[in-house]
Structure 1
């Protein structure tokens, strides 16, 4: 007949001595070492306190409908400007563009724009060609990231900290042209940060949700001032991985710009529970190893009676 293990339990042996004994001092010392040494090791290994973290999320970007296009020609005295700001209309600035076309495409129907197309056409006088142009597009940029912070021990539900960002950003494009009146540009919008943004579960960061251009000040429409003011922000957007192709020379200048909105790397300051969770994982991993080593040392000390103590053994009592 086969014999199987039905139940097992550990035999508890108790070692006792006075409070101010050597044996008790040994126990207190090893306990403190077991608590302190993991902290020292994990802290000196760096990265113990999580000061910042990153997460990837696709932003919600919408074109605000505001643009400025300034074209320089081979005739120094002749420039073309296209825009839709009220300041220029009120001061009798003539819009030179014959057609502006904007298309925003949501490929996966998640409510966020994935592809932005901007098309501009400008009729040129005979023997006039564009040598350089500057383009500014204003964007409404929203980013809302839900990060698992900790778990409620009572309800067993995950608690999420929300990193919210709402700002006004720009697309800046400056190009030099030679013997062409058609240019096609494809690029990707990227996020840049100088320092991490603090995440608050109930507050959306609107520190940078201010207009770069003062609509009542003509100097604020100058490209040098726009660029200077824009790059004073902590968080900005810019174009990267730009690919260009050119057409021939004609009396109709055409600019076609395509921008993709991929996931952006968001740089933020983590919340309290996320910092504690990261530190606890490092601490407990070292603590368990050291606890096993100290337990072996304690077993050796008490099994070999290195200190004087009173042993309370249930087996010995039964024999007696």
Structure 2
């Protein structure tokens, strides 16, 4: 006659022992390793208690077509200047020198966000005039626009570079032109303009922000629980092997069956 299984259920077996035994000591060691070891592992991973996080984002950058140029020349330590701000240009008087400017922005990876600005400027000079140094200020927006130059102000202090940079550094959000590699080429022909060519790339920005206490605690719990589940699985099987095979002497008692006390 053939037999087949009609019903199955797990059998529960309790393993008993007194307090001062090897089984009790083994249980205490297992509990400590199960719940304390994951805490140490998560903490030593350098990612347990995080106070700051970072993420990368391609910013939406737009050139605002606001420019301020100051060039020191060789004529009696004088200078020439130009800007896109009419109030400032009116105050420059004879020092005003209007250049030819060409600007082009490109989206090279076709992701809908601009990646590169090509800026070209030709400053007309007198035949005996040379440029010794240049200060160039260009303004950009990062979707959230806060202007650092008050173009409607009739006062010269609003266009002072020291005041502009101080106001910029006091903002919560700032950007820095990194890895500039200027190349100054001499030997300009008489009557030729001073040329300034610049390429400014808009790379991925690394944004750092502090975590609140709740966010830090939540992330710490995630790290701890992720390691704890592995330790629970491992030590559960270790305990089952030790007690089922009586590696450490205990009294097994099947639940639901009579037993001798």
Alignment-derived partner of residue 56 in structure 1: 56
Looking at structure 1, the residues matched to 11 and 211 of structure 2 have their Cα atoms a distance apart, in angstroms, of 45
Looking at structure 2, the residues matched to 305 and 118 of structure 1 have their Cα atoms a distance apart, in angstroms, of 79
TM-score, scaled to structure 1: 0.61
Looking at structure 2, the residues matched to 132 and 306 of structure 1 have their Cα atoms a distance apart, in angstroms, of 85
Higher strand share: 1
Looking at structure 1, the residues matched to 88 and 25 of structure 2 have their Cα atoms a distance apart, in angstroms, of 84
Looking at structure 2, the residues matched to 49 and 294 of structure 1 have their Cα atoms a distance apart, in angstroms, of 28
Stretches of structure 1 lacking an aligned partner (at least 5 in a row): 1-5, 143-165, 168-208
SS at match of 1:60: coil
Alignment-derived partner of residue 226 in structure 1: 164
TM-score, scaled to structure 2: 0.73
- Indicate conservation of the 8 Å contact 1:124/1:253, yes or no: yes
Of 144, 149, 152 in structure 2, the residue corresponding to residue 213 of structure 1 is: 149
SS at match of 1:240: coil
C-alpha root-mean-square deviation of aligned residues, in Å?
3.9
Stretches of structure 2 lacking an aligned partner (at least 5 in a row): none
- Name the stretch that deviates more: 259-268 or 80-89: 259-268
Map Cα deviations across residues 9-30 of structure 1 (whole Å, 9 max, x no partner): 8853320669xx7499779855
Looking at structure 2, the residues matched to 36 and 212 of structure 1 have their Cα atoms a distance apart, in angstroms, of 54
Q: Could you list the structure 1 runs, at least 4 aligned residues long, displaced by more than 3 angstroms after superposition.
A: 21-33, 89-95, 231-234, 268-279, 305-310
Alignment-derived partner of residue 140 in structure 1: 141
- Indicate conservation of the 8 Å contact 1:50/1:279, yes or no: no
Alignment-derived partner of residue 132 in structure 2: 131
Map Cα deviations across residues 262-294 of structure 1 (whole Å, 9 max, x no partner): 223232346867974675245423541364235
- Name the stretch that deviates more: 72-81 or 212-221: 212-221
Q: How many pairs does the alignment contain?
A: 244
Looking at structure 2, the residues matched to 113 and 291 of structure 1 have their Cα atoms a distance apart, in angstroms, of 51
Alignment-derived partner of residue 87 in structure 2: 87
SS at match of 1:70: strand
Higher helix share: 2
Looking at structure 1, the residues matched to 46 and 110 of structure 2 have their Cα atoms a distance apart, in angstroms, of 43
